[in-house]
Structure 1
Amino acid sequence: MSERTRKSMNGNVRVAVVCLAFVCAMVGAAYAAVPLYQIFCQVTGYGGTTSLASAQPVEPIDREVTVRFDANVRKGLPWTFKPVERSITARMGEVVEAEYIIENTSERETNATAVFNVTPFAAGPYFSKLDCFCFTQQPLGPSEKRRITVTYYVDPDMVTDDEAGDVGTITLSYTFYPADPPDQSADAGDQDATDDATRPVRSKS
C-alpha cells in the first residue's frame, strides 16, 4: 500500500468518525429538555423547520393553502396546550395570525420553551413567521391560562418548487418542553453596577 493511499484512507476514517460522532450527538440531544437537534433544525431550516421573515410579500396570490395546527406537551410539563382553530385556509402570501391557549394545571410557576417544524418537509422553507410565541420562553403562574399567537404567511414562491409546488395542506407542529426560569443574577449584577455608577460620591473633608 502506497503512502498516498494510506493517508487517504486515514483521512476517510477521520471524516467517518466525525460524522458518526455528530449523528450520535444529535440523536442523544433529541432526548434533552429542549432538544439541540430541534434548535439546529430551526436555525438551519433542515427537517421541515420554518423561516423567520421581517416583512410580508408585496402581494398575495390566488392560490390557497390550508395550515393545520398540531399542539403537544412534553412529559413532565403540567400544561395543556391547544390551538383555538384546528386549521386555517388562506391565500399564499396572506398574513395570518393563529391563536393557541396554554394553561398551567399545577399550583406552582412553570416555564417552557416551544420547538416546531412543518410537514411536508419540502414546505418548510416557504413557511415564514413574522412573530411567534416560540421565539421566547413562556412562563405561567400557578393555574394561569393565557392566549399566545403565531403570525405567519406561506411564501408564494412555493408554487415554483418542484417538490412543494403541489402542496395544498401544511401541518405546523409545536411541542412545549420544560425550561429553567431565566437567570436573574446577571440582571441583578447589571443593576448593581448601574446603581454604583449613579450613586453620588461624597468628597473627602
Structure 2
Amino acid sequence: MTELAVRNRRAAAIAVLIALGMVALGFASVPLYRIFCQATGLNGTTSRVSEADVPKLASAATVMVRFDANVHPDLPWSFRPEKPLQQVHIGERNMAFFVAKNLSSRPITGRATFNVQPDQAGSWFKKIQCFCFTEQTLQPGEEVRMPVIFFVEPGMREDADAKDIQQITLSYTFYPVDSPAKGG
C-alpha cells in the first residue's frame, strides 16, 4: 500500500471518529445542559433539594411568588394554581397547590416543565417536592391537587443581581407524554 493510501485511510478514519463524536455529543447535550442549568440556575432553572436543606431561620424579608399554569394544546387538561400569588418569607419552607383535571374520556399521562423568572432568581429558588419531578397520569374526568414545596434561599438578598427582586414567577407547562402504553 502506498504512503498516500495510508494517509487517506487515516484521514478517513479520523473524519469518521469526529462524526461519531459529534453525534454522541448531540445526544448528550440535552441532559448535560439540563444538569448544568440545575446546578447554576441558568435560564431560571430551579434546584431540587431535600428537607434538610431548608434554612433553620427564616428572614423577615419577603418576596411575592406568582404561580403560572399552562397546558400544551394537545393535552386535554385544565390546570391552574389554587392561589396565584403568595407572599413568602425568604428562607421559609412554603407550599403551593396546583389543580389539574383530565377533560377527556381516556386516561392521559402528562409531564410538567418549569421555569422561574426573572432568570436571576432561578439559582435562589429551591424545590423540595414537586409534581414536576414525575409523570402524572389522570383518569377520565379525574381532578387532583398537586403540591409544590419550596423555599427562597436567604442569600438572594446579598446577590447583586437578585437583591432587588420583589416578585418571582414559577411557571409550569404540562405536555402530553407520547407513550401508548401509558394511555398518552
Whether the TM-score (by the shorter chain) exceeds 0.5 is yes
Q: Residue 43 of structure 1: CA displacement?
A: 3.7
Aligned partner letter, 1:84: E
Partner of 2:5: none
Match of 2:42 among 41, 46, 66: 46
Please provide the CA RMSD for this pair: 2.6
Which ranges of structure 2 fall in alignment gaps of 5 or more residues? 1-17
Shift in CA distance, 122/182, structure 1 to aligned 2, threshold 3 Å = farther
Contact 1:39 1:115 in 2 (8 A): no
Q: In 2, Cα distance between the equivalents of 1:182 and 1:157? A: 45
When normalised by structure 1's length, the TM-score is: 0.69
Percent of aligned pairs with the same amino acid: 42
Shift in CA distance, 88/151, structure 1 to aligned 2, threshold 3 Å = same
Tell me whether 1:116 sits opposite 2:119 in the alignment. Answer: no
Partner of 2:97: 99
Which ranges of structure 1 fall in alignment gaps of 5 or more residues? 1-13, 30-35, 185-205
Kindly tell me the number of residue pairs found equivalent between the two proteins. 156
Runs of 4+ in 1 over 4 A off after TM superposition: 36-42, 181-184
Partner of 1:147: 145
Partner of 1:80: 78
Larger radius of gyration: 1
- What secondary structure sits across from 2:156 in the alignment? helix
- What secondary structure sits across from 2:43 in the alignment? coil
When normalised by structure 2's length, the TM-score is: 0.77
Q: Residue 173 of structure 1: CA displacement?
A: 0.3
Q: Residue 134 of structure 1: CA displacement?
A: 0.4
Match of 2:59 among 61, 68, 76: 61
- The structure showing larger relative contact order (alpha-carbon pairs under 8 Å, at least 6 residues apart) is 2
